[in-house]
Amino acid sequence: MTETIELGEIVIEVTRKAIKNVHLSVHPPEGRVTLAAPLETRLEVARAYAISKLGWIRDQQAKLRNQAREMPRQFVERETHYLWGRRHLLTIIERGGKPFVKVDHRRITLYLPADSALENRAELIHEWHKVLLHQAIPPLIAKWQVKLGVEVAHYFLQRMKTKWGSCNPRARNIRLNTELVKKPKHLLDYVVLHEMVHLLEPTHNERFLTILSGYYPNWQEARAELNELPLSAENWKE
């Protein structure tokens, strides 16, 4: 059961899990605060801990408020788009035939019929993003399957507004946010590993963190980088 702690304007969601230590997190984009505590932790103890970290919480929320945000995309000539962490300029070429996307160096070119609707341009880019992710993800899964000694039955791509990925350990499925195509590839590698570690340990307990740290010692830096990159206009969160 989730409880809440209110510290002035700050509301903290408290959950109890089979972990040894308290984990306090501030989540992008709005600065939502969560606190995971060991099962036996009394709410008063969790509250005291949160009070001791109040300055840190406010600092993290301020960083998120000042974080760069992408403007809503209109898919017009010379608009900036991110691909694997790099900025690209969009070029529109109106022509007959089947619409398609081409990328070279720092330019993304859309070939599509004249007067195509914004929704059609957005969907064309989204489908192209999925193609790029389907090319990048299987080698990463294969690499971590060997190292972790696990097997992913299926992976799925999905627009996700609350997290970068998820895992169903029982079905051995992982889901990945299509927004990851906009981030540097090493961050996609981190998210894939993170979700696959859940095949060994379903929760974010000490064992999970030990396994993750063993294979990706800089995971905290990767997580911070992922959260410090420009946020989508649609407010994607980890």
pLDDT value, residue 174: 97
pLDDT value, residue 132: 96
Pairwise CA distance, residues 155 & 144, whole Å: 14
Predicted structure pTM score: 0.70
H/E element holding 126?
helix 118-148
Q: 84-123, pLDDT tens digit by residue?
A: 988 899 999 988 888 999 998 889 999 988 878 888 888 9
Burial of residue 117 (CB within 10 Å: 0-12, 13-18, 19+) is exposed
**Tokens 């993750």, located at residue:** 212
Q: 55-68, pLDDT tens digit by residue?
A: 999 988 887 776 55
Q: 153-188, pLDDT tens digit by residue?
A: 999 999 877 688 999 999 999 999 999 999 999 999
Question: Which CATH code for domain 117-228?
Answer: 3.30.2010.10
Domain boundaries, the chain: 3-65, 117-228
